[in-house]
Structure 1
Amino acid sequence: MTERKKKNEWFEWAKAIIIAVLIALFLRTFLFATSIVDGESMDPTLKDGERVIFNKFVYLVGDPERGDIVIIERPLKNYVKRVIGLPGDTIEINGSSLYINGEKYEQTFLSEEAEMQTGSYGPIEVPEDNYFVMGDNRAISKDSRNGLGFIEEDNIIGRSELIIFPFDEWSLTR
């Protein structure tokens, strides 16, 4: 092999690697990223230590919807919670029942035990450009009721789509 062909081959490999890295950075920056569930506040939907892929692009073209599992960016750590209240909604929790705008909301994603441990809260109106979020394990969740407050739309950085670790638990989170 001539010296020129070797240089050309190295140049082609370097070019391919640089393009692959740039594509990966683009995907991670604008489309998808991963997050680790820290704690049991989303149990049984998501368990402590699970790694999820979240979609960053979805909220660049649309708004969070009720029931979405979202990643919330905060200075010290990110949180994984479920959107319960949308801007302008009135939220009230009375024992095990959740009311949104005066109508009982069926929480099919909760276990019976979690539903019974929700407690009472509100009524409270969600301000414009903000969301009300809660964890699925209501008894221990730090959420809009007790520490996180309302979540500004800009702090929601993506929607959880897929559990990727542990490998034997791959599943959609929607």
Structure 2
Amino acid sequence: MLKSLRKAKISKTILLLTILFVLVSIRLFIFEPAQVVGHSMAPTIEDDQWILMNQLSFSKDKPNRGDVVVIDLSDQIYIKRVIALPNETIRIQDQQLFIDGLPYQQNFMTDDQRFWTHDIEQTHVPSEHYYVLGDNRKLSRDSRDSYTSLGFIHESDILGKAQMVIYPFNEWKFIY
């Protein structure tokens, strides 16, 4: 009887250690939490929310248009939406965004946010780079101004994809 209790205790300990190992591995190699500072991605992601970033999102695939990505530039972390892909052209005229000459619908933005983008002449996105914008254009530092802000984002500067808001708990949601 004592032997079976000891076996049960050892089995339980091994199970708990295995679960702990799996959780730590997931945290270290797949999902990374990050706190959002600022309003540049509102209303998609609000100031002081915590997100979960998938670090393996782009290990095989490249970012797609519309993906919300986490960017590391000179030890500064940014969260922005991918708007234009490598080798595409982008232009903004009269508040309308054009990609390769075609209007792009920005359904993730509120009507109020659409009217804070100045005209941008047609610009070619270099190979291996992305054009990113914050959803809250009025308050976002992003690819629109390459001299004082982010400019084009090299693919190696993209850490992963923002998958979900995890805190506050009552605001939990997937990010689209």
Query: Which TM-score tier does this pair reach, normalised by the shorter chain?
Result: 0.7 to 0.9
Query: Which residue number in structure 1 is paired with residue 49 of structure 2?
Result: 50
Deviating beyond 4 angstroms after TM superposition, the runs of 4 or more aligned structure 1 residues are 15-21
Count residues with an aligned counterpart.
172
Q: Which of these residues, 137, 161, 170, is aligned with residue 168 of structure 1? A: 170
Deviations along 1:76-96, whole A, 9 cap, x unmatched?
321110000100010111131
Q: Distance in 2 between matches of 1:126 and 1:106?
A: 19
Q: Secondary structure of the residue that 1:59 maps to in structure 2? A: coil
Give the C-alpha shift of residue 159 in structure 1.
0.9
Query: Which residue number in structure 1 is paired with residue 61 of structure 2?
Result: 62
Unaligned residue ranges in structure 2 (runs of 5+): none
Query: Which residue number in structure 2 is paired with residue 128 of structure 1?
Result: 127
Per the normalisation by structure 2, the TM-score is 0.87
Task: Tell me how large the CA RMSD over aligned residues is.
Answer: 2.3
Pairs within 5 Å for 1:60-139 = 60-139=59-138
Give the C-alpha shift of residue 54 in structure 1.
1.4
Q: Secondary structure of the residue that 2:37 maps to in structure 1? A: coil
Query: Which residue number in structure 2 is paired with residue 159 of structure 1?
Result: 161
Q: Which of these residues, 148, 151, 156, is aligned with residue 150 of structure 2? A: 148
Structure-2 change in CA distance of 1:75 and 1:20 (3 Å): farther
Using the aligned pairs only, state the percent identity. 35
Give the C-alpha shift of residue 36 in structure 1.
1.2
Unaligned residue ranges in structure 1 (runs of 5+): none
Give the C-alpha shift of residue 33 in structure 1.
1.1
Q: Distance in 1 between matches of 2:41 and 2:160?
A: 16
